[in-house]
Amino acid sequence: MELFVFVIAAAMVLAGALGVVTRSNPVHAAMSLVLTLFGIAVMFVAHDAHFLAAVQVIVYAGAIVVLFLFVIMLLGVDRAEDLSVEPITNQRPLAAIIGVGISAIVIAAIVSSRAGLGASGQGVNETTLESPDANIRQLARVIFSDNVFAFEITSVLLLVAVIGTVVMARKTKSVGTGK
Amino acid sequence: MLSVAQPTSTWYLVLSAVLFGIGTVGVMVRRNPLIMFMCIELMLNAVNLSFVALSSQIANIDGQVAVFFVLVVAAAEVVVGLGIIVSIMRRRTTLTVDDMSGLKG
CB spacing of A99 vs B24 below 8 angstroms: yes
What part of B 17-46 touches A (C-beta under 8 Å)? 17-26, 28-32, 34-35, 37-39, 41-42, 45
Q: How far is CA B60 from the centre of its chain?
A: 23
* CA closest to B61 among chain A residues: A124
Q: Where are the alpha helices (DSSP H) in B30-90?
A: 33-57, 62-89
| Residue span of the structural domain in which B55 resides | 32-93
**In a structure prediction context, what are the per-residue pLDDT tens digits for chain A, which is 179 residues long?**
788 899 999 999 999 999 999 988 999 999 999 999 999 999 999 888 889 999 999 998 888 999 999 988 888 877 777 777 777 778 888 889 999 999 999 999 988 887 766 655 555 656 665 666 788 888 888 899 988 999 999 999 999 999 998 888 777 665 544 43
Contact of B85 with B47, CB cutoff 8 Å: no
ipTM > 0.85, yes or no = yes
Facing A47 at nearest CB: one of B32, B53, B89: B53
Contact of B95 with B34, CB cutoff 8 Å: yes
Q: What is the pLDDT of residue A24?
A: 87
- The model's pLDDT over B8-44, given as tens digits with 9 standing for 90+, comes to 788 899 999 999 999 999 999 888 889 999 999 999 9
- Determine, yes or no, domain membership for B84: yes
The angle subtended at Cα B56 by Cα B52 and Cα B58, nearest 5°, is 115
Q: What is the pLDDT of residue A127?
A: 60
What part of B 39-78 touches A (C-beta under 8 Å)? 39, 41-42, 45, 48-49, 52-62, 64-65, 67-69, 71-78
Residue B26: φ, ψ to 5° = -60, -45
- Determine, yes or no, domain membership for B4: no
Q: Which CATH number does A1-79 carry?
A: 1.20.120.1200
The domain tally of chain B equals: 1
